Amino acid sequence: MRVRRSAAALLLTVAAVLGTVSAGLPADRGPFDARKVSSTTLADGRTAFTDRHGRVLDLRGFNLDKYDETTEADLRDLAAHGFGLIRVAVSWARLEPAPGRYDRAQLARLHRILDWAEKYRLYAVVDFHQDVYGQYFGGGTGGAPSWATRDDGLPFTPDPDDWFAGYFQPAVQAAFRHLYDDRDLQRAQAALYTTVARELRGHRALLGYDLFNEPFGPVDGDPADPAVLAASAAALEQGRLPAMYRRLIAAVRQADRDAWLFVEPTVLVGQGVPTRLPAFADPRPGADRIGYAPHFYDTAVEAGRDWDPSGGFVEAYTDAIAAYPRANRLPVLVGEWGPPSAATPGNAELIRRQVAAMNGFAAAWTMWYWCRGNGGYCALTPTGAPAPGYGPVFAG
């Protein structure tokens, strides 16, 4: 965990003059408790996380392997490299394989990871993860369970070369529509969130919950038309998606009043499209604990190209995400970012520029992700050294 100086009125005054909060205070070696993490708005308009002393936290870290391979050694190594934050993917299908039957082994796994996080003083965000809705569409045991999937008998033809294209399949579109609209699925999803929150509440490592990974919804028209995609995303963010977030905020708050709750925009923010999400009220007593959790991916790089700095991706993204968190005084957690590999010159430069940009707008980030390998998003080589091009990620 990196700590920047803040907290006392004198230091905040200095921050107001300098436009940032200086580094230099030693790490807090007192009791570790994520429930004590608050926020403050800095002189430059950003909202930052603060520790129990009021000092600004610069939280950086990684997503962990989804869903079974994370070990205590992973968390120990993360902390040894100076990182202070993990994002832990959980799966509805794994947590609730049958309606109302929760898997105690999966819940025990979550407890174990959070216990390791506390041991190594790592804050943890639990990510309710999904890719292409869920297991019914070939996602293994990730995302929604088959019993919570309604496809209206519509076709689904996966593209082995483009997993993301599955979102535009008629059956997947129908499944999302039913999840957003059907009362029994709304109740089932809310019950899951209340159950997990009741199970984990009070854990000293638990910073909060990312309420729904990469939300998607019905696309009315040709998805190859950027105007259609933008209109569909705006409709989702102004209607079905905020209604879901309000239900899920209420569901978590039934059991836990302390955890931070993060809302995500649609993935179009990566194309420079500002979110149309409204503000959200937090029913907890005291100050709101709501954060904003956009992802930071360049679709051309995701498709296998080396990054082209002349495309203006970082600048367009920064402009697109700035207004919403500033207007609502929300800390920004960039929940996922990073190229499949940084061994090429363009992608190495992309990492450098992303880190620099996030230093200016983010309160926290978790890169995708912590593993050993050659490419494949792995931050480490097979020997455990930082992967080529990842130097700025591991810099102090």
Instruction: Give the structural domain span for 180.
Output: 2-394
**pLDDT score for 201:** 97
Q: What is the mean pLDDT of each run of 10 residues along the chain (396 residues)?
A: 36 31 48 94 95 95 87 96 97 96 96 97 97 88 92 93 92 97 98 98 97 95 92 97 98 98 95 95 97 97 95 96 97 98 97 97 97 94 96 91
CA distances from 139 to 253, 357, 379 (A): 29, 33, 24
What CATH number is attached to the domain comprising 11? 3.20.20.80
Buried b (16+ CB within 10 A) or exposed e, 323-362: ebbbebbbbbbbbbbbbebbebebbbbbbbbbbebbeebb
Predicted local confidence at residue 18, as pLDDT: 30
Q: Exposure string (b/e) for 238-266, b if CB count within 10 Å is 16 or more? A: eebbbebbebbbebbbebbbbbbbbbbbb
The CA distance from 333 to 325, in Å, is 10
Preceding amide of 67 cis, omega within 30: yes
pLDDT for 29: 67
Whether the Cβ atoms of residue 394 and residue 81 lie closer than 8 Å to each other: yes
Phi-psi region at 39: left, alpha or beta (left = phi > 0; alpha = psi -120 to 50)? beta
- The domain tally of the chain equals 1
Residue 28's pLDDT is 63
Beta-sheet pairing, 2-3 with 206-210: unpaired
Residue 66 has a pLDDT of 74
pTM of the model as a whole:
0.92
Reported residue count of the chain is 396
pLDDT of 142: 84
Q: What pLDDT is stored for residue 9 in this prediction?
A: 32
